[in-house]
């Protein structure tokens, strides 16, 4: 068959079969050799890859820590920038909230400024959003602030739209505006600010009216306020000297 194929100038079946067989064997050998070389390369690179991976993990941890620190610095800068106009306007004493009463028997906080910084009893306390409370006691380095939401808190207040007077009393989780004349046409959303008094000048924001209670047998009406200040997130405050 081979001789006949050569005489006729064509490929014999035996040659074609042999070529296919040897080609398959060579392909298998080449694949095996390449796989062996690749495996050897990977094995040789494992220690280097482990070192690179450890370096990348350490770098990632440093970046995460730095990112958290930068976020905190940005938040502190925003808070300082927000209260700076209040400090400059009223010649106030900037302070930070450093503690809450553990028993939670009163709505009060401790700040990191005291009598040595010029803080005195009955000084008003505000932040960038509005009224926080007033100073009830001082020590050389710290002071206690009773919040506007405490039951003992009483602040002269005015409904800004109609200039109606009342008393803003603490009601634990909110502030209630009392002793507003019955003929005052209060509306939901009315803004309430401080009146001139012992601890505050007039015009400091307190809150907005969210509910109105008009009694038939009294000369006054009562309004529930949503305070502008978020008392659960107090941080930087300003003490306003009397």
pLDDT in tens, 32-52: 766 667 666 777 777 777 777
Q: Judge contact between 134 and 141, C-beta under 8 A.
A: no
Give the CA angle between residues 128, 129, 130 to the nearest 5°. Answer: 100
Q: What is the pLDDT of residue 66?
A: 78
Q: What three-state secondary structure class fits 215?
A: coil
Rounded-to-integer distance, Cα 174 and Cα 47, Å = 63
pLDDT for 77 beyond 60: no
Q: 65 to each of 2, 53, 156, how far by Cα in Å?
A: 78, 18, 47
Q: Which positions ≥6 away from 211 have C-beta within 8 Å?
A: 188, 223, 224
Residue 168's nearest CA partner among 118, 116, 208 is 208
Helix (H) or strand (E) holding 72: helix 13-90
Structure token digits, residue 231: 């008392």
Q: Give 84's pLDDT tier (boundaries 50, 70, 90).
A: low
Delimit the domains of the chain by residue range.
1-90, 93-242
Rounded-to-integer distance, Cα 129 and Cα 152, Å = 22
Q: Does the pTM of the predicted model rise above 0.75?
A: no
Q: Give 62's pLDDT tier (boundaries 50, 70, 90).
A: confident
Q: Which DSSP string do the residues of 128-175 spell out, in sequence order?
A: SSSEEEEEEEE-SS-EEEEETTSTT-EEEEEETTTTEEEEEEE-SSSE
Question: Quick one: average pLDDT of 135-154?
Answer: 93
Condensed to tens digits (0 to 9), the pLDDT of residues 181-214 reads 988 999 999 999 999 988 898 899 999 999 998 7
Structure token digits, residue 150: 């405490």
Q: Other C-beta atoms within 10 Å of 184: how many?
A: 19
CA 110 to chain centre: 21
Domain 93-242 has CATH 2.70.98.10: no
């Amino acid at each position: 068959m081979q001789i006949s194929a050569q005489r006729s100038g064509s490929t014999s079946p035996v040659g074609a079969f042999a070529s296919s067989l040897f080609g398959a064997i060579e392909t298998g050998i080449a694949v095996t050799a390449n796989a062996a070389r690749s495996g050897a390369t990977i094995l040789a690179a494992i220690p280097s890859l482990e070192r690179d991976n450890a370096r990348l993990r350490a770098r990632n941890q440093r970046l995460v820590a730095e990112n958290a620190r930068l976020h905190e610095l940005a938040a502190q800068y925003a808070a300082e920038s927000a209260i700076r106009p209040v400090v400059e306007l009223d010649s106030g004493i900037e302070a930070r909230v450093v503690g809450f009463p553990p028993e939670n028997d009163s709505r009060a906080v401790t700040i990191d400024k005291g009598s040595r910084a010029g803080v005195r009893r009955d000084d008003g306390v505000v932040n960038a959003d509005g009224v926080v409370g007033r100073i009830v006691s001082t020590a050389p380095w710290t002071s206690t602030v009773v919040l506007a939401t405490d039951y003992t808190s009483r602040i002269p207040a005015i409904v800004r739209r109609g200039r109606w007077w009342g008393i803003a009393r603490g009601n634990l989780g909110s502030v209630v505006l009392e002793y507003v004349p019955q003929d005052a046409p209060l509306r939901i959303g009315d803004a309430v600010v401080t009146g001139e008094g012992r601890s505050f000048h007039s015009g400091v924001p307190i809150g907005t009216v969210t509910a109105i209670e008009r009694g038939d047998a009294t000369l006054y009406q009562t309004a529930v306020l949503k305070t502008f200040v978020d008392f659960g997130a107090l941080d930087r405050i300003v003490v306003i000297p009397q």
